Structures are given as C-alpha cells and as structure tokens.
Structure 1
Amino acid sequence: MLTSTYHFKSSHKRELFNKCLTPAFVCDAKGRLLDANVAAEPLLSDQQTKNLWHIFDMGREELSTQDKHCQVVSLIQDSSQQSLFLLYVDKLDAKDQIYLVRAKPQLKYFNQPLGVRERPFFYDALTGLANHYAWYRRDQHRLYSAPCALVLIKLHNLRAINILVGMQSGDELLRELGESFKAMSSSSIHIYRFPGAKFLLVLNQPVESLENWLYENLSQLLRDELSCQDLQGMHLDWRAGATLYRNQETAQALMEECSIAMAHTSPSYPYVCYRDEYQMVIAHRNRQQNRIYQALENEQLDLWLQPQTLASGKIVGYECLCRLEDSNGEVIPPDEFLPYVDLNNWYAWLAQLVWARACELLSDWDDRLGHVPLSINLAGPELLDERFYQMLLKCYSQSALLRQRLGLELTETSMVGQLAQTKQRLSSLAQAGVTVLIDDFGTGHASLAQLVDLSISILKIDRLFVSHVLDSSIHSNIIKASVELANSLDMKVIVEGVETAEELHALKALGCKMFQGFYFGHPQSYQKLLEQFKS
C-alpha cells in the first residue's frame, strides 16, 4: 500500500476519495504519486511503484492542463492486466499543481490487434471521425508531407442552438456534418473532430490561394440546409482559421496560429488565414488586459465628475465617470477598459471599486461644492452578483445620506437586455429609496410599463437626439415627447451632450430644464474641481 503524503482539505473529501469504487490517485504534475485509494491497490504492483507512469502508458511526461476546465481524458493501457482505462484528471490544488486522477476501467482487449485496441481512443463516437488524440499522438507526421495547411473550423453558435432546440438536435447536426466531412476526405485531405464544435482539416495538397480554397470549398460544405427538422431555417455561424506549415513548426504552434486567425473572424469575414501581424495584435491585447487587471488589482481608480446644471449654469448634480490609471500613472479611458471588463466578466469587481470610491467622495465632500447628488454607472450584470447586491441593499437601507446623494445609472439598452432577476433587483433598490437614472434614453426599446415597474426617477436623453435638434424636426419631436412623458410620470429629465449655446436655446424651447455636456463643463477629477472652486 502506498504511504499517503497528501492531506485533503476536509475529512469529507478524504472519505469520498477512500470509498471511490474506481482506482483513484493523487499526484503532482510529473506523475509522482502522493496517495491512492483502496480500489487502486491492485494496480500498485509493489512498493517501488511511485509514479503514475509506472502504472499506465500515458505517452507523455506530465499531466496536461490545456483544457479550460482543467480536465483531460486520456485512454491508456495497463501493462500488467492488458486492460484499457479512461483517465479523468482534475486539479485538486492549482497553486501546488496537485491532481486527482480517476481511472475508469474499459473493456478487456486480450490479444486484440493494435488497430482494434486504439479505435475507441482515436475516434470520435458521435461523428465517427478521427479525434484530436489521433492528430496529436498518431498523425502529426502529415505535417511533413509538404505542402501542408491546417484549417480549424468551429460552429460559433452551437451553444445557442443547443439552448434553442436541445442538445439532441445539436448532436444530430454534428453527426450530419461528420458525414459531409467523410465525403470530403481523401488521401490528401484528412479531417479530425476536436472537442466542442471544432473540426481540423489537414490539407496535403498544393493550393494556389488558401483563402480562396476556404471560400470555394467550405461555403458549400458548411451550408444552412440540413435534414434535421428542428434546425430548418436556422443560421449556422461557421468560423475558420487557417495557416500554412513552415519549417520546424510544431503541431501545437500551428494550432495556436489557427486559433489566432479564428479570433480575427467576423460574420462578414468568417474565414481568415493567419498572418504574422495577428500575433502582435494578440500580444497587444494580452498586455492591455494585464494592464487593466493590474489597475483593478491595485485599485488605481478615480472618479471624474461632470456637472449637471440648470440653464442658468447652477450645478444640481454630478455624474461620476470612472477612469483607471496604469502603473505609470497614465489614464485608461472607458472605451479601452470596458471591453475587457465585459470579456472577463469583471463587472462586479469594477462596480465594487467604483462604489467604494463614490462613498469616499461623499464622506470627504467639500461643502463649497454644494450638497448635490452624485450618480455612478452600472452595466447591469453586477446586480446578479449576490454579494454586491446585498451590500447595496444594506448600505442604502442604513444610510439616508446615500439614498439622498448617490444614484445608480444604467443605460436603457442594458436595462432592456437584462434578465428578469436583474430588473427585479433594480426595482427593489428603487423601492428602498434609491434614485435610479436611465441613461441614453431613446436609443433602446424600454416600454412604458418597464419605466413604471422599475420606479425610474430620472431619464437622461441621449446626445444622439441633441446633436440633431437644430436641423431635424423628428429629433426635436422625440425630445419634446420624452420630456412630456417624463413629466406625466413624475420623472425628471437631464439632456446629455449639450455643446453649444444654440443647442441649449432649442432644448429650453422644448421644455428641457436640466442639462449635461461640454458646454457646461468637461469631466475632471474631484481635486481639480475643488481647486477650480477655490480659485
């Protein structure tokens, strides 16, 4: 029996490990065994068995973590029993690279030829195509059969299809596509099914233009016409990234080039060939993401204030606009950091920092600036974060100052697109006394019922209408109707994007009373605003 050197974080996990009916091991990334359960004892031939590779022929030197869920499946053969096992590898401790390995026994393959033994491993059960293991472990030699090109194909909207019509129809789609790929296969075109909705085409034939080949061959193959009734009329969003083999490149490097090319696809350009400059773009994105992450991690965030005024110029409030600063003190504007917040779902993280800074502003507020309300912007998804939502409820319920002085601002577009739970929580906050502002009003599709249900306090009319108020009666009429609607619902209106005296005069004639824009003041930090008042 192997001497245990790993301590589980709880006795419950230790008990589950010991009572697992399939062989289970704890090891590090190099396969060194730290623990094994009772079911694994028959595979531990003697006390010299200290490494996972002594038990299974893995064909590698360390455990893989390529899968985004930190789970890989590897079919291996136990040399002592001539049995096949399916390995499930999960991370137990990411920091120390400790893994839990479960070995599920497969069918016995005594005296079977190699081709029969390897088939369950190297072939995809759903489509019958060779799979990614076949490519990485068996067929990489095809790279050196010049010329060679790799094409990685992905059904971009498979997840949406599975949600709309069910996974069974999604599987039927993949099976049908597998048959089309089989018909396309030849001695110079090899096709592999990769995890998810990805397929790899390996071309061992000369092509005058790889991009032309993609459009000529894939456009017909990846068509929308399908036999499955549930999928009739449904658009299939196919994307493909391709690259050519060049001397000394590895299969993994080429796959990364295909993925980089695919990242540059769009509905208008679904097939893209790799270019060296794409690598520079990816590197720039990674640097930018790290720059933004570090700014959030170090709480290098400031709120710039833009005044909201009456026509006379009297300030009646401020909108707090978030700005990040990198380690060099350079300001990162919203149009640079917000896409990465969305991409990485950092909404709650950013909102927590903005909230904390806004509360600091209120506590340090100089009376000379007037006791006027502030508002911070939310995107909507952060309200689904239970911790952040409960914090908002608690703080607002306990502080009359916050209810009077700190509003929450969401765009009409984001509000309409939110889940029912988000709208319910926003409505609960409004009923608790929170001032809710709808930004960019008129650019979304909020219904009258939604405005009433959410207990909106203030509508902010978008700059899109203000910029045409002098030359378009349609835009003027929309502004006038919005003001009349808000008045009938006992809501206030702030008109955004006012930049000239002529615009201000026209807006006053339409019944507008509160304004925001460069005509009245640019966003600036609290310190600069305070210095301006002092001077």
Structure 2
Amino acid sequence: MLINFLKNYFLVSSDQPLGREEKTFQQSALRILLALTVCIFFISEIHSLFIPGELSFLSINSVYLCLLIGLLYFSKKYAKVTAVLFLLTLVTTSFLLLTLSDEFHAEKYALVSLYSLPLITRLLFSFRACLVAMAINVYPFFLMTSDSLNVGQSDLAPSFYFQLLTFVTLNIGLPLAVSRIIQTLESNASHMKVLYRKLNDNYAMYEEFFENTGTPSLLCDQRGKILKANQLARDLISDSKRKYLPDSTITDWLSPLGDTGRFFWQSNVAECTLKQKTNIHIEIRRAALTQHGHYVLHLQNTTQLRAIQQELESTQQTNSRLAHFDLLTLLPNHRHFCHQVNQRIDEQDSHLTGAMFIIRISHFKLLNKQYGKDSANKVILNFSKMLQKRLSEQAIIGRLRGVKFSCFVPLGQTYLIQKKLSTLIHSILPSQITVDGSRLNMDYHVGIAYYHTDGKTAEELLEHCEMALEYSTSIDRFSYYNHNLENKLIEEHKLGLKLSTAIKNKEISIWLQPQVTPNGQICSFEALARWQSNGKFIPPTSFIKIAEDLGLLPLLAENLVRELVVTLSQWQKEHIHTPIAFNLAGQELMNDGFFALLMTLIADNPWLTNMLELEITETSSVMTHPLIHKRLRSLSQYGYSIAIDDFGTGQASLGQLVDIPADILKIDRRFISPLPGDQRHIDIVKSTIQLAESLNMKVIAEGIETKEQANLLAALGCHTLQGYYFAKPSPLSDWTAKDNAKAKELRMVY
C-alpha cells in the first residue's frame, strides 16, 4: 500500500512512455530532489536538537526545512515555479555558506551544491538552462582558485588541480553526460511515440477492418474461447439479453450438425445451429493465424440458402415430372412415352408384333365450354384411369397433348387383322363417363399404325398415327395408316404451298354460274372460285379445304370480294342490276379484318345491298359459333342479303333458321338429283319450299340437270333455279368482255 503510494507520488505516471510528457519527468525529478533535501534537513534538524549551543543553526535549519516542505507541497500544482524557487534556494544557501562561513566543510558542501546546480538544472529545465548554470559556476570556481593562487608555489598544483577536477567533473562532465543520456532518451521516446502512433493507427485500422468486413467474424483460441467478435457476429448469434461474447466459448452459442467432433470450429467448414434458435443454420469457415495460434471464424446465416436449396430440389423433382409425365393424368408425356416404347422394342426379339394408336376425344372443346375447365379435366382424368384399367399390363399408355392419348399394345398375329384390332380398341374405349354424377357419352377418332409394317420406332409410328388420324371421319372413326395416305398428305402439302403463293399473287379467278327464274330469265349469279395450276384445274372441294386448314380463307375471300366489287361497280354504272352471291365458309367471318371490310364496303357503296349476296355454307362446324350469328345479324342490319347454302345437310338445319337472319334458302343438290323419280325426295323438297314460304324466304334449287327437274321445281313453287341444265359456270371475263355485252343480255335460251 505504502510502496504503491510512494511509487505513484514520486514516479507520477511511470506507465507513460518516456518523453511522451516532459512535465511528468521534470515533476518526478523535482519531487525526488525535494524529498531527499527535506530528509537531509530533517536529519540535520534532529541532530541539532542534541547538540547544545546550536540554537541559531536550529532556527535556520527549521526555516529551510519548512521552506522545502512547502515547495514539496506546491510541486504538484506549480512545478515550474517550485523548481525555480528550489534552485534559488540552493544557490542562495550555497553562496551564503561559501562567503559567510569559515568552516572548511561548509565551503566543501557549498561547492558541491553549486557544482551540482547544472545537473539539477538539466533535470528540471532545458539544456540551455543547464549551460547558464555552468556559466554561473565559473564565479565560485574563480573565487576558490584565487585563494589557492595566493598560496605558495608548492601548494598550487594539488589544490588547483583538485578544484579544477571537481569543477570539470561536477559542473561540466556530469551535466553534459546526463544531457546526452536525456537527449538519447528523448530521441528514443520521440521515435517510440511515432511508432506507438503508427501502431495505434494500425490497430485502429485492423479493428475497423475486423468490425466492417461485411461478414460476421469471431476471433477465438484453439479451445474455442471467444477473444473478439464484430457487431455482425454479436447480432447473429447472441440475443438481446446477452450481447457480451468475449470470455464465452463457441459451444455456448452454437451446436454442430452431424459428426464433426467436440472441436468443430477447428474444421475448415462446419454446419451448426443456434442453441437459442435451432431453426437458424450457421456455416463456419475457419482461417488459422499461424503466428498466434488463434482462429478467425467467418459465420454465414445459411437458413435462407438451405430453404432455397430445398425449394430447388423440390423444383427439380417437379421439373423431372414435367419432363417425363403429364401432371394431370400422371401418364408418360410424348417424349417419355417414346422412350418407353423404344426400350420395349429394343428388349424384345425381332418377332415382336404390336400396334400403335392415337385416341382423340371428339368435340371436347364443346364439352369444355359447356361444363367448364375443371369438369373437362375430370373427363380426361377419368378416361385415362379407365383406359389404364381396361388395357393389359403389357400396354404402354401416354398422353400426347390436349385430348390425345397414345397406346402401344403388343399383339398376336390374329389381331393384326384390321377388323379384330378395331374390335379390340373399341372394347377398351368407354362409351360413357360419369362426372359429378352426370353420365357423358364419349366419342372418339382413332389413328392406327402397325409396328414393323408401318414403322420401326415409336416416333415413326406416332407420326404415321397422326397421319391416319387426319383422315378419320364421323362415319369411319378408325383410320389405318398406309403408304398411299402418306403420299396423299405429301401431295396436299405441296399443293398447299402452291395455293398459298397463288392466293398471295391473286391467281384464283372468279367464275359465275347464272341463277334463273322459272321462265328462264337470268336473275342473279353465284360466284365460284377456280384455280388452274400447271394447266390443270384443281377441284374447289380440294383447294378450299386446304385453304381452310392453312387459315388462308380470309385472304382468299378478301381478294375475290374486292374483284367482285370492282365488277359490280361497273355494272352499276351500266345499269346492270343483276346481283352476285358470294359463298362464305365461316372462317372468313371469324376474321376481324374481313368482317370490317364487308362493313366498310357497304358503308362506302350503299347500292351493294341489292347487288352482293352472302351465302353461308351450313355444313361448316363454325356456323354454330355465337360470334358468327352476331356478325351475320350485323351484316343483315346493314342491308346484306343472307342465304343458307346446302340447306338440310348441316349441323342443325332448323336451328339455323332461328339463329341466322337469312333471306334465301338453297336446297342442296343431293335432294334434287333423285327427282322426279323419287317421291320421298319430292316430299322433302316440297316441305322445304313450304317452310321457306312460311318464313317469307326465297328458295333456290341447285344442281338441276334435266328439263323434268326444272319443270317439277317450278311447279312446286321454287323461285330460282340453278344447274348445268341452264348454264355451266364460266369465267367472269366472259360476262365483262366487250363492254359487258354478255351481261347486258341477261337471258339464257334453252
């Protein structure tokens, strides 16, 4: 306790680097010198008490003792002033002893004190002050040596040289040596100060770097004791109640995953969880400090990463299912189905026989529209389940797309006969399916190809099944592939390419077939499309269907309508008021651009209401679409005459009369050709004419080839007649040649 007090009092701040604070050193030296001087005077004071007759010395000694104690007391606050007063006291006392006292020892003590003055001055002040003290001491040296010079020559040398040696040693040598030591210490202290500042800056930089690495980091020893942690690490692994990490261990905060041992932090990479929150996953990456034997541990919160990895694995499994199976039915998709079939073919010997067939559910779009998507999906799902149930385990079933299902069935030689195979396929197709308590009738189209005969691989067999499926009809729903069918498809493809070019180049021409009254006068025409390729006329039934399949009908109809309007404009100027009927298949009216063209033409040419008639082919499946009915009503309101072509052969003949605002009814040639010999057909035609009259509609009979047919239809009340008996179709140019000369006759003689 006492030692610590004395140490702190006399050394002041001994833990401070030397030279960092000059005042500290001077204050410490001053206190030591004052304390020693006080001790000397205190001992002298006690000694004087026991010597009689020393009262005057005792009083002077007491004064000095009090003065020194006072200086020692004030040295804490007034170090400089105290030091100056101490030196003045020392100089004054020495000079008084030197000049007033005759005692040899007093002079000796005075000289020692004066000669020590530069050393004390250097300790308390600067080197310049030390030099000043050295210069002052020349006077006492001169004073002492002058007495020696007055002595005889025999005593000069020893006394003088002793004085000189004492003066040089105490007044010059020791102060200079101490000054050199102090200068060296000050220089070293300055250098140490610079090094300390750099060290401190580096420490601050490394501290900041450790704190701001952007990664939660810990510094720990080999036993896992945490020595330091940055803020990110504290926020990551400690809760709000316990933020202090140093002096704790890693195992206080983290629990390892897997078999990583007790010292899991010594591994290069370790997976852990927080002890407080086991759902938080932490990854530890170690960096060893070889010179210090410590570890820098970088922490990473991998909770979200693990969640993403799990989601990715789930997604990969889902993608695998998407890549190989249909999600609704869980049947193999096109690619995986082909893989399974090819694998079966490769595994079997060369005597394997089998059949590939594609089943397409008919009219599924109407089913989807009527019952909704969810119910339609149930139909597909129930159908796939029933198909799997009825087929043998050797069969391979897949869903291609939409409502197409593919099947590969190993067969015996017996079933290679088409009739037996059709019976087999028909037996496995459910005729009805129950959905939400309702029983739905099922209808199918099937395309069939034989393995070995029609193809060697699954891909080839499926392609041929698709070809066969294209030629299945409502009458013959089972279609078998053959090479002639493939050649036909190739020819149709080539023809389609030529047709596309012909339509774009406007090479499809218009022919007109007259429509006459019962007395033989031409009252109207029907416009017919004709295409001549390589010197041959392509039947309209062929190229119109191809145009419909390729979506070219709107462009073809636009070209023909524009050409007709040009001709009708010329006839309007020539007062040839003979209307022309133009046939539409339904696909054209579904096209927004063509519908807008019809509306624009009649808006710009109001006279077209009496000159251009629109014939709607009732056999087209799109004629039942609500949009067709809506647009036909709009065209009728604008003034177009609407005719129902091929009446009696279409989707819903009587229903069309309600939905379509028609003005004209055309009786199809299949009802005309048996006349007049077939009474049943006579009754049908008669009832049709009566129905049209009751609805205030005109009736046109087409396909008349004999005079008997013409006379019978006229007698039954048919308004307009058309057929080869009156005139065959001829090019439009025949009617417009020579300034529309033929069109002006408007009469056909027969």
Q: TM-score, normalised by structure 1?
A: 0.66
Equivalent residue in structure 1 for 2:426, among 219, 235, 259: 219
Say whether residues 1:309 and 2:516 are aligned partners: yes
Pair 1:519-2:725 in alignment: yes
The structure with the largest alpha-carbon Rg is 2
In 2, Cα distance between equivalents of 1:364 and 1:127: 63
Q: Which residue identity lines up with residue 356 of structure 2 in the other structure?
A: V
1:101-500 correspondence runs (5 A):
105=312, 107=314, 121-136=323-338, 140-144=342-346, 145-146=348-349, 147=352, 149=354, 151-157=356-362, 158-180=364-386, 188-203=394-409, 207-211=413-417, 214-215=421-422, 217-226=424-433, 228-230=435-437, 232-237=439-444, 239-245=446-452, 249-266=456-473, 270-326=477-533, 328-365=534-571, 370-411=576-617, 417-441=623-647, 447=654, 450=657, 456-472=662-678, 475-476=681-682, 479=685, 491-500=697-706
Determine if contact 1:436/1:457 at 8 Å carries over to the other structure: yes
| Structure 1 gaps, min length 5 | 1-80, 86-103, 110-114
| Contact residue 361 and residue 442 of structure 2 kept, 8 A | no
**Number of residue pairs aligned between Structure 1 and Structure 2:** 429
Q: Secondary structure at the match of 2:450?
A: strand
In the TM superposition, what are the counterparts of 1:74-89 in structure 2 within 5 Å? none
CA contact (8 A) 1:295 1:325 kept: no
Per-residue CA deviations over 1:403-460 (Å, capped at 9, x if unaligned) read: 2322222245559943333223222222222233333445566559947x86544444
Maintained 8 Å contact 1:486/1:493: yes
Q: Given that residues 706 and 725 in structure 2 are in contact (C-alpha distance below 8 angstroms), is that contact kept between their aligned partners in structure 1?
A: yes
Compared CA separation, residues 372 and 236, structure 1 to 2 (3 A): closer
CA contact (8 A) 1:169 1:231 kept: no
Seen in structure 2, the aligned counterparts of structure 1 residues 138 and 300 have a Cα distance that, compared at 3 Å, is: same
Q: Measure, in 1, the Cα distance between the counterparts of 2:547 and 2:624.
A: 17
Q: String of CA shifts for 1:20-71, please: whole Å, max 9, x gaps.
A: xxxxxxxxxxxxxxxxxxxxxxxxxxxxxxxxxxxxxxxxxxxxxxxxxxxx
For 2:147, the equivalent position in structure 1 comes to none
SS of 1:284's equivalent?
helix
Contact 2:645 / 2:667 at 8 angstroms: preserved in 1?
yes
Is 1:504 equivalent to 2:710 in the alignment?
yes
SS of the equivalent of 1:519 reads coil
More strand by share: 1
Displacement of 1:485:
5.8
Per the alignment, do residues 117 and 217 of structure 1 end up closer, same or farther by CA in structure 2, a change over 3 Å counting?
same
TM-aligned CA distance change 1:251 to 1:510, over 3 Å: closer
Relative distance call for 1:503 and 1:368 in structure 2 (3 A) is: farther
Counterpart code for 1:210: L
Residues 480-503 of structure 1 show CA distances to partners (whole Å, capped at 9, x for unaligned) of 565566566655444433333333
Change in Cα spacing, 1:143 to 1:359, as seen in structure 2 (3 Å) is: same
Unaligned runs of at least 5 residues, structure 2: 1-305, 746-750
State the alpha-carbon separation in 2 of the partners of residues 312 and 446 from structure 1. 30
Match of 1:50 in 2: none
Q: What displacement does 1:287 show?
A: 2.3
Q: Quick one: distance in 2 between partners of 1:488 and 1:225? A: 41
Q: Which amino acid in the other structure matches residue 263 of structure 1?
A: E
Say if 1:416 and 1:467 are closer, same or farther in 2 by CA, change over 3 A.
Answer: farther
1:465-490 deviation per Cα after TM superposition (whole angstroms, max 9, x unaligned) = 54455335565565556556656665
Q: Which residue of 2 aligns with 1:31?
A: none
> Residue 507 and residue 415 in structure 1: after superposition, are their counterparts in 2 closer, same or farther (change >3 A)?
farther
Structure 1: distance between partners of 2:393 and 2:733: 71
User: How far apart, CA to CA, are the structure 2 residues paired with 1:170 and 1:353?
Assistant: 40
Q: Is the 8 A contact 1:463 1:496 kept in 2?
A: yes
Over the matched positions of the two proteins, sequence identity in percent amounts to 28
Write the letter of the residue equivalent to 2:357. Answer: L
Asked if structure 1 preserves the Cα contact closer than 8 Å seen for 2:383 and 2:433, the reply is no
The one-character-per-residue Cα deviations of 1:177-221 (angstroms, maximum 9, x if unpaired) are 544565578785444443333444445675454356744643333
Deviations 1:324-352 (A, max 9, x none): 233x2432232112222333343322221
Deviation at 1:530, TM superposition (A): 5.2
Residue 11 of structure 2 corresponds to which residue in structure 1?
none
CA distance in 2, matches of 1:310, 1:385: 35
Which structure has the highest helix share of the two? Answer: 2
**Structure 2 CA distance for partners of 1:492 and 1:105, relative to 1, 3 Å:** same
Alpha-carbon distance between aligned partners in 1 of 2:390 and 2:598, rounded to the nearest angstrom = 58
Q: From the superposition, tell whether residues 254 and 432 of structure 1 become closer, same or farther in structure 2 (CA, over 3 Å).
A: closer
User: Which deviates more, 518-527 or 140-149?
Assistant: 140-149
**TM-score (normalised: structure 2):** 0.49
Secondary structure of 2:314 counterpart: strand
* Shift of residue 270, structure 1, vs aligned partner: 4.7
* Mapped contact 1:469–1:503 kept (Cα < 8 A): yes
What secondary structure is seen at the aligned counterpart in 2 of 1:320?
strand
Q: Distance in 2 between matches of 1:316 and 1:361?
A: 17
Deviation by residue 1:223-279 (Cα, 9 ceiling, x = unmatched): 235464556241242524233147994543233123223334445655555433332
Match of 1:522, SS state, is coil
- List aligned pairs for 1:63-74, cutoff 5 A: none
Q: Given the superposition, is the C-alpha separation of residues 153 and 308 from structure 1 closer, same or farther in structure 2, using an over 3 Å criterion?
A: closer
Shifted more, 439-448 versus 233-242: the winner is: 439-448
The 3-state SS of whatever aligns with 1:143 is: helix
State the 4+ residue runs in structure 1 displaced beyond 6 angstroms. 184-187, 366-369
SS at match of 2:633: helix
Offset at residue 106 of structure 1 (A): 5.1
How far 1:528 sits from its partner (Å)? 3.1
Contact 1:129–1:182 (8 Å) recurs in 2: no
Hey, what's the Cα distance between the residues in 1 that align with 2:605 and 2:335? 60
Counterparts of 1:41-56 in structure 2 under 5 Å? none
SS at match of 2:441: coil
